[in-house]
Amino acid sequence: MPIKIGSLTVKGRVYVPPMAGVTDLVFRSIVRKVDRGCMLATEMVSSRGLMYKPECRIMDLADDEHPIGIQIFGHEPEIMAKAAIMAEQRGADFVDINMGCPVPKITNGKDGCALMREPDLAKEIIVAIKGAVSIPVTVKFRLGWDESSKNCVQFGEMIEDAGASAVTVHGRTRAQRYTGTADWTMIKEVKKALSIAVFGNGDVFEPEDAQKLLEVTGCDGVAVARGTLGNPWLIPRITKYLDEGILDDPPDSTDRLILAVEHCLGLIRYKGVRVGTSESRRHLINYTKGIHKSAPYRNRLTQVSSARDLVEVLRELVEQEAGSDGKRRFDNAIGSYDLDKIHEAQTVGIDPGHVKEAVAV
Ligand SMILES: Cc1cc2nc3c(=O)[nH]c(=O)nc-3n(C[C@H](O)[C@H](O)[C@H](O)COP(=O)(O)O)c2cc1C
């Protein structure tokens, strides 16, 4: 069933929520390549930072990414409202407010999850943003600050009262960070109390987990973050399982490595060789996880400094894993890429017109 988020209607029930350092334009283009329907979000962007650097590339969006939200963080209502206006101008379908980030660097400044301890200020922020933009406003938060202050139900009610159109609830407290298991039964309490759309979030790594979360919580949709790392196919597999009850196999290692290379080449093209190869290493650790005897290749991947080297290491890994047939498929898929041109790529300008060009490797 489609989900209503204010004036926005989304077809799918699966959402890839913000992940700083991950859900950039290139990662999202890879997700879109395998899944047309899920809802997407950018990495979180500092509202205050935007006042000094309005052209911030975190807000770069491509034409074919919708539905997509831009997530902002901060605690000053006026600045947050200005940032939300910028998000709307950059083409976001919704603006998401981060009230869940547990990192001390963020919470020490009253941002992120610290706002769960300041519900009046949190409300002021939502009201200010709501009054400033015409796109829907959403909020992402946790169960509470710590075990003794799980205020997610009252907090959710405040958010709805303030005019937000949807929430995403991560079933952990700030104190838990990512430890323990997500408590889906608390998310259910939030869903019961609200009439706006609720996305349940936490510990979905397989299609069956997504179905279970929806059953336990009664949520409208499910937000899947870490499960997509090196594994964007999880999203279409979840959708198929939820919609048709069919559990597709994960892709084989050759397909994984082909997509891994496309992801890395996109990063090099979009962010330049130095940053692109450095960021690629993290993603490659995820893409190669579980591939038999891949450890030595992972070590070599930490040393690569060019698109050509990176492709070469992965080609060898494919050959070891899938023989000449795998290598042929790999070469067919990667053969059309001009590696020297990609290697020479400098950071592409911020003109959104260049965005497609940058990721269309
Ligand atoms: C590397 C990383 C970065 C994250 N960055 C953000 C962020 O910028 N904003 C946010 O609201 N949540 C962020 N999160 C939290 C996720 O969106 C999600 O709530 C959390 O990982 C739990 O979901 P999961 O169990 O599906 O991973 C981040 C999580 C990870 C692992």
CATH code assigned at 173: 3.20.20.70
pLDDT of residue 338: 83
Q: Do 204 and 295 fall into the same domain?
A: no
Give the chain's residues under pLDDT 50.
Answer: 348-353, 361
**What pLDDT, on the 0 to 100 scale, is given for residue 357?**
57
Q: Is the shortest distance between the CB of 204 and ligand 1 below 6 Å?
A: yes
Same domain assignment for residues 149 and 264:
no
Strand partners, 96: 71, 138
Task: Tally the domains of the chain.
Answer: 2
- The dihedrals phi and psi of 69, each to the nearest 5 degrees, come to -115, 155
Q: What is the CATH number of the domain that holds 297?
A: 1.20.120
- Is 20 close to ligand 1, i.e. is its CB under 6 Å away? yes
DSSP letters spanning 230-279:
T-TTHHHHHHHHHHH---PPPPPHHHHHHHHHHHHHHHHHHH-HHHHHHH
Q: Is 106 in the pocket of ligand 1 (CB under 6 A)?
A: no
- pLDDT confidence of residue 341: 78
Residues 33 and 124 grouped into a single domain = yes
Picking from 225, 244, 263, the residue at the C-terminal end of a domain is 244
Domain shared by 258 and 304, yes or no: yes
User: Cα(50) to centroid of ligand 1, in Å?
Assistant: 21
Under DSSP, is residue 26 helix (H, G, I), strand (E, B) or coil?
helix
Looking at the structure, tell me whether residues 109 and 71 fall in a common domain: yes
Q: Which of 202, 227, 244 is the last residue of a domain?
A: 244
| Ligand 1, atom 6: closest residue by C-alpha | 19
Domain shared by 221 and 315, yes or no: no
Point out the domain boundary residue: 222, 244, 266: 244
Q: Are residues 277 and 128 in the same domain?
A: no
Q: Could you tell me the residue range of the domain that residue 326 belongs to?
A: 253-359
Nearest one of 125, 127, 122 to 155, comparing CA atoms = 122
Given this model, what pLDDT does residue 354 score? Answer: 52
Residues 267 and 336 in one domain: yes
State whether 259 and 240 are in the same domain.
Answer: no
Catalytically active residues are 101
Same structural domain, 344 and 295: yes
Burial environment of residue 9 by CB neighbours within 10 A (0 to 12, 13 to 18, 19 or more): exposed
Q: For residue 205, give the ligand 1 atom closest to its CA.
A: 26
Structural tokens at position 73: 């963080």
Ligand 1 center–CA 43 separation, angstroms: 9
> Would the CA dihedral through 274, 106, 103, 57 be positive or negative?
negative
The protein residue with its alpha carbon nearest to ligand 1, atom 4, reads: 19
The pick from 113, 226, 285, 286 for probing ligand 1's pocket by mutation, whose C-beta has the most ligand atoms within 8 angstroms, reads 226
* Same domain, yes or no: 239 and 258: no
- 10 bridge partner residues: 3
Shortest-distance atom of ligand 1 to CA 22:
1
The answer to whether the CB of 18 is under 6 A from ligand 1 is: yes
So what's the pLDDT on residue 340?
78
- Which atom of ligand 1 lies closest to the CA of 170? 19
Predicted pLDDT of residue 254: 95
pTM score: 0.95
- 35 φ, ψ (degrees, to nearest 5): -145, 120
Q: Same structural domain for residues 17 and 125? A: yes
Using CA atoms, how far apart are residues 234 and 289, in angstroms rounded to an integer?
15
Given this model, what pLDDT does residue 306 score?
A: 87
pLDDT at position 206: 98
Specify the pLDDT at position 361: 46
Question: Does the Cβ of 43 fall within 6 Å of ligand 1?
Answer: yes
